[in-house]
Structure 1
Amino acid sequence: MRGFVFSTEKAFDEEGNLKQPKQLSINKVGHDLHGIDPVFKKFSSSEKLSGLLCSLGYRRPVIIQSTYIFKQPGIGGEVVPHQDNTFLYTDPPTCTGLWLALEDATVINGCLWAIPGSHKDGLVRRFVRDENGVHFDKPSPTYDQKDFVSIEVKAGSLVVIHGNLIHQSFENSSSKSRHAYSLHVVDTDGCKWIEDNWIQRKVAPEPIYVR
């Protein structure tokens, strides 16, 4: 998977036509921006990010996924509660999400929400690829929305997300977009990329650095 453009259903009318200009209809672009675009590559492999990962104990980190999220006004869709390890699994689990706010993220325009301490309770389910296609290995659990807290941040803030942290975001109901750049990193030192992960690459990604 190199680069794909995604739009939400709300961007189209009943006849399948866009309701607004193209530039305001894109929901997100992914999953390999750091691999195909020099600007994203430069940032994603910067000394600041590699230093952060080093401080978290990574020894041979690779970026397994990168996505630009527009969260457009009025059509920016909901992201249901999930854990990143569900989709990007290594043995042992090593996924960390790096979520960079490119614009202010507020409750009104669809900021992140998370359940504090949920990363300590283990992985709930996985999204796998097998002979039946791609699917979850277990049903979706039910969460109490009262357990979530909002993560409102200013533009330029970086949110570091543990792979087992349960988090979500709601629809953008405001007149302002909520742009963000999202990276997901796993370690390849003593860790195995599981063969039934839904994302598989023909060529293994290069590490950001090696300790």
Structure 2
Amino acid sequence: MTITGLTSEQLSFWEENGYLIIPDAISQEVVKELVDETAKLLNEFPLEGHPMTKFTTGDGDKHIGDDYFLNSNDKVRFFFEKGLPLHPSSSLLKGAFSSTGELIKPKAKAINKIGHALHTNSPPFAKMTMTPLNRSIAKSLGFRDPNVMQSMIICKQPEIGGAVLSHQDSTFLYTDPPSAVGFWYALEDTTPENGCLSFVPGSHKWAPIKKRLVRLPEGGTGFEDLKEGQANGVREKGGVEREGEGDGFVLGPVKKGSLVLIHGSVLHQSEKNLSPNSRWIYTFHVIEGEYPYDERNWLQPPEGGFSRLNDVELA
């Protein structure tokens, strides 16, 4: 069977909205294999010697200076979920850890995400990442040398899975000019109740990348403001200019086996998971290998460089 990439209708939706949902992109047999591998990873990783690094999002997060996080470029590492408020007016936390920092959830139910080199270290995830389909999709999107730079399982645990605030992926995965695209595969059904994605359609056309996450000379990481012209020609619209642009978030619930493509400049987010159901997904990001990727980026290439989708033989 010939793999042809995206249709003209799919490309039109992508170019207009900055994201694309492809139902049944992978078979249910592949989904089961990946779910089984995820469960195995969660149940078998050792707590002994783990620094108990917690993963959150936002400008002020402390985890992004953690060596366990920064040196995960060629490894499979496990990042814990932080607590959630029981109620907006409550100071009590319902999460993986007690107020004194003790783990109070089973470890398999306490992990926020696993990363960042599943595509090279886990055979099932490597097999489904480096495929003719993914190479063909990347080619359809205009990539000349698509590089898989990092990969993650995001667990969105039942009742404690934290919200991911509105963001643009190219802020964290930066090339000059920006080129990141997320390949986001649902391993379970995603719903408004368990924290499905939502997008601001078309925001990739008017929301430039204003900053990037970099390694600081003194250690750790921080955000560096970008100069005008470093955002791939995108200029922010405001006031009257943005009227009619539809800057509200649109929910994107999907069934397991679906692929969601995410433009690196599109604004997207997900809400807390306060439901009894997890929301496991696998995502990897592709960047243009012909664009500069400098030594200041928080995630550095492993020895031998990033994985090249062009090395995959087309069917």
Distance 1:102 1:210 in 2: 26
Percent of residue pairs bearing the same amino acid type: 44
Q: Which structure's residues are more often strand, by fraction? A: 1
**Contact 2:182–2:263, Cα closer than 8 Å, also in 1:** yes
Distance 1:63 1:88 in 2: 11
Aligned partner of residue 42 in structure 1, secondary structure? helix
Q: Which structure's residues are more often helix, by fraction? A: 2
Calculate the TM-score normalised by the size of structure 2.
Answer: 0.62
Q: Which amino acid aligns with 2:202?
A: G
Distance 1:11 1:20 in 2: 5
Match of 1:137 in 2: 224
**Contact 1:60–1:210, Cα closer than 8 Å, also in 2:** no
Which of structures 1 and 2 has the bigger CA Rg?
2
Q: How does 1:72-87 map to 2 (within 5 A)?
A: 72-87=157-172
Match of 1:17 in 2: 102
Distance 1:87 1:74 in 2: 27
Aligned partner of residue 111 in structure 2, secondary structure? coil
Aligned partner of residue 50 in structure 1, secondary structure? helix
- Can you list the C-alpha shifts for 1:152-206, whole angstroms capped at 9, x where unaligned? 11111111000101111111010000000011110113x1112221111342113
**Contact 2:149–2:307, Cα closer than 8 Å, also in 1:** no
Distance 1:69 1:180 in 2: 5
**Contact 1:89–1:197, Cα closer than 8 Å, also in 2:** yes
* 1:194 equivalent in alignment to 2:267: no
1:136 is displaced (CA, Å) by 1.5
Q: How does 1:62-73 map to 2 (within 5 A)?
A: 62-73=147-158
- Bigger drift between 116-125 and 153-162 goes to 116-125
Match of 2:76 in 1: 3
Pick closer, same or farther for the CA change 1:32–1:202 going to 2, 3 Å. Answer: closer
Distance 1:137 1:91 in 2: 14
- Bigger drift between 14-23 and 168-177 goes to 14-23
| Runs of 4+ more than 6 Å apart | none
Match of 2:196 in 1: 111
1:15 is displaced (CA, Å) by 3.0
**Contact 1:61–1:210, Cα closer than 8 Å, also in 2:** no
Distance 2:210 2:163 in 1: 20
* 1:28 equivalent in alignment to 2:109: no
Distance 2:209 2:127 in 1: 32
**Contact 1:68–1:181, Cα closer than 8 Å, also in 2:** yes
**Contact 1:59–1:210, Cα closer than 8 Å, also in 2:** no
Distance 1:110 1:16 in 2: 25
Distance 2:104 2:198 in 1: 29
Q: Which amino acid aligns with 2:173?
A: L
- Can you list the C-alpha shifts for 1:29-83, whole angstroms capped at 9, x where unaligned? 0011101111111100011111111111112111111000111101111111111
Match of 2:265 in 1: 164
- Can you list the C-alpha shifts for 1:82-104, whole angstroms capped at 9, x where unaligned? 11110111122111011111111
- Bigger drift between 173-182 and 121-130 goes to 121-130
Calculate the TM-score normalised by the size of structure 1.
Answer: 0.91
1:14 is displaced (CA, Å) by 1.9
Q: How many residues align?
A: 203
Instruction: Name stretches of at least 5 consecutive residues in structure 1 with no aligned partner.
Output: 139-145
